[in-house]
Amino acid sequence: MLMAPSRRRAVLIGVNHCGYDVQLPALRYAESDAQAMRSVLLDERIGTFDDGDVDLYIGPRATWQDIKTRLRDIALDSRPSDVLLVYFAGHALVPEWSTQLDAYLVTSDLEPNKLRREPDNGLRMAFLKRDVFETFAGTSFLILDCCHAGIYLDANLRHAEAMQTYRTQVDRHSALLACPNGSAARESDEHRHGLLTYHLLRGLRGQANDGGRVSFGQMANYVAEQGLEPPPVQLVQMYGPTTVLTQPPVSRHDRQALSGPANPGTTRPCKSPLEDRSSSIMQLLGRVFRSEAHPLPPSSQQGQAERVEIIRYALDADSVAVLEFSGRGIGVVNSTARFDKDELWPMLELSAADAMQYRTSMPGHVVSNDADRRLLCVPVSYEDDRTLTLIVVDPALALLDMGEPLAVMLRTIWDSNPLDDPTEAEMRVMTALRTNFGRLPLNLYQYAFSLYQKLIGSMTMVFQPVVELDQRAAGVSVHSYEALARRADHEVRAPLLALRMAYAWGDRFIIERDALLLEKAVRSYAAADAEAPWQGTKPLSVNVAVRSLLSDSYLTQVSKALAEADLNPRTLTLEISEQDPIQPGPGERWPQEPLAYFHRRLTDLARELRINFAVDDFGVGYASLARMAELPLTQIKVDRAVLHHPLALEELALVARVARHALDRGHAPQARVVTVEGYDDEAPISLKEIYDLGIHHVQGYFCGEVATTSLRPLDQSVRDRIAARVRGEE
């Protein structure tokens, strides 16, 4: 697939005479300033833009409709490698009726009297920020040589403080503004320019870097050092210091790339952290998981070839390959069409040396040469002396500068299924960032939370019967059901990876997961029970984390779900996983020893909500006799791992004695129910041995019983076979 070259676009606007009934004086140099900017950007000796990519709007041609249409077209058609520069010289208008921190750039056709009813009939600063720069996929720059230019920093925001907390900053965007909000920009008869533009042009012609390459950041710093009053306002972010606008006089044929590496022929580790990378991360996620321009249809079979093409598209790269580095040399496992191993051989040798030396200690590195080629190298798997490495050739510089977060994302994308299950795959990427970097920027955290809600909300609940054993077929029956989450109702395995992601994010995700699954389980159970012969007589158990039971919001959801489904609370049993510790969270203080505090909590909940509790997964994690014996439980569920232990029968016998302990002491009217989970035909212990221990409940995949979305009785043939096995006849 041939790649379109990256483009450097510029939209230059200059307006001397204002629109209709605009009570502002005419300017003298705004239009010639825009023309001067065009001349510098297209200069045969120092310019870095091509003729067809610079749009000039001056005088009567500078209409707000044409300018907005052009800017939106550029933004919507952009790629991560592209650059956009917008320059405006003229007046800015702040309407008296406006309650927002916003202003209009005055064009030749602006009609202020119509703005009250038609506020979008003009070129608003908020439009530039929201609909152009936040949409543009590459690196963007804005220069405003007008009064009130500083309003741009707060455009489209009612409260400036909110910007710092809630607004997504575009880390690929920088701006140079002639003056703060409320101040006036000035023109100079001596220089025959606007003052900002006069120094701006001098900087671009070499003064900002002693005749060398001039980046936006260098130019902005140069202008700021000229002592202008009022002082200009700068917003120079990630790519402002590195994106070149002009360069020393050389022939166009002999120029290097506009952002050549500082140290060709060397490698450098990818860098961190995430604080000023959030919009680039969101852009990359969008191109991988949600882009309408995705190179592959959703029905494509997921494989290595598809994944390398997805990654090439997402990073706007020349090509992508998966290589095997080993003592036997360098081999190509998979690649996109343009990958040329022979051409890149010296750089691949450097990459192989680093990949073999550092292996797991360096998540990725960049190799560059003096011909301005760059390789992003991300090891994705290791086996003995074999390292499988993802090689991205000439990715978009704006994305490459993300560093270590990019390497972490690519490795996770490679390990996931972007086409088969995009929601879970994207959540895996977010969780990898959380795991590797800890705290995420607020907008990324909130996005991950909504994504996780979507993932859990898409799951289906199936019901696995807990079978009551008996030596008589007539006594074999369904005792209760456990609700189990599945990605689809036909799947046998639980989506453990998706369910356990919550623990990487903390209580809010855990509680939301449990609340969503509880509501879904109760609603689905009520619907299935209405079509079954049980009529609410078979108990339902649902898994819950310790942290959720400490949350009042979760318990409110339990009551609400039961009421909406019109289920007797006694029908519900919450199974507390032994894989969860019972201990205070960070910064929490409990008034009692943890087990005693949690015992009191469960006792109060059982009384107030009239629901039951069980211990789940006994035998793994934080399982202990103290937890099993001291907590107010109605059931004990033994994990299948116990079945495969050499002392399995002894362990099961101990659990059975603990379950009868309260009954034997006269502290309970009946023994707790003990259920063996995960029983199947491969279990080394027979149903007769389990039954003889006094354990009469088994759950799992045996005798053809599977979890389904319906509640149905056991077939007679199944009951006959189970009874025979309990008698020891099979």
Q: What is the pLDDT of residues 559-613, one digit of tens each?
A: 999 999 999 999 999 998 877 888 888 888 888 898 888 889 999 999 999 999 9
Which pLDDT belongs to residue 264? 56
Does the pLDDT at position 157 exceed 50? no
Which pLDDT belongs to residue 219? 92
Q: What is the rounded distance in angstroms from the CA atom of residue 48 to the CA atom of residue 18? A: 31
**Bridge partners of residue 390, in order along the sequence:** 322, 378
| 8 Å CB contact between 317 and 377 | no
Q: What is the rounded distance in angstroms from the CA atom of residue 38 to the CA atom of residue 20? A: 27
Type of residue numbered 531? E
Q: Determine the CATH number of domain 267-437.
A: 3.30.450
Which pLDDT belongs to residue 98? 64
Which pLDDT belongs to residue 359? 58
Does the pLDDT at position 170 exceed 70? no
The upper half-sphere exposure of residue 435, i.e. CA atoms within 13 Å in the direction of its Cβ, equals: 14
Tokens of 601: 């909590």
| 8 Å CB contact between 129 and 141 | no
Q: Which superfamily is assigned to 459-726 in CATH?
A: EAL domain (3.20.20.450)
Which pLDDT belongs to residue 1? 42
Lowest mean pLDDT among 108-117, 462-471, 500-509: 108-117
Q: Cβ atoms within 10 A of the Cβ of 218, count?
A: 23
φ/ψ of residue 181, rounded to 5: -60, 135
Does the pLDDT at position 724 exceed 70? yes
Does the pLDDT at position 479 exceed 50? yes
Which pLDDT belongs to residue 667? 47
Confidence of residue 625 (pLDDT cuts 50, 70, 90): low
| 8 Å CB contact between 220 and 208 | no
Mean pLDDT of 638-664: 81
Q: What is the pLDDT of residues 374-403, one digit of tens each?
A: 999 999 888 877 888 999 999 998 888 888
Q: What is the rounded distance in angstroms from the CA atom of residue 154 to the CA atom of residue 355? A: 46
Tokens of 242: 């590195």
| Domain 8-254: CATH architecture, name and number where available | 3-Layer(aba) Sandwich (3.40)
φ/ψ of residue 335, rounded to 5: -160, 160
- Helix (H) or strand (E) holding 526, with range, is helix 507-530
Q: What is the rounded distance in angstroms from the CA atom of residue 113 to the CA atom of residue 380? A: 61
| 8 Å CB contact between 410 and 378 | yes
Q: What is the rounded distance in angstroms from the CA atom of residue 167 to the CA atom of residue 153? A: 12
Which pLDDT belongs to residue 272? 43
In the chain, the percentage of residues whose pLDDT exceeds 70 is: 86
Residues near 710 by beta carbon (within 8 Å), at least 6 away in sequence: 463, 528, 531, 532
Q: How many angstroms separate the Cα of 218 from the Cα of each of 49, 173, 258? A: 18, 15, 15
In the chain, the percentage of residues whose pLDDT exceeds 90 is: 50
Average pLDDT, the chain: 85
Q: What is the pLDDT of residues 62-79, one digit of tens each?
A: 999 999 999 999 999 999
**Domain range summary for the chain, segments of one domain joined by +:** 8-254, 267-437, 459-726
Does the pLDDT at position 361 exceed 70? no
Q: What is the rounded distance in angstroms from the CA atom of residue 420 to the CA atom of residue 442? A: 29
Which pLDDT belongs to residue 638? 87
Which pLDDT belongs to residue 128? 94
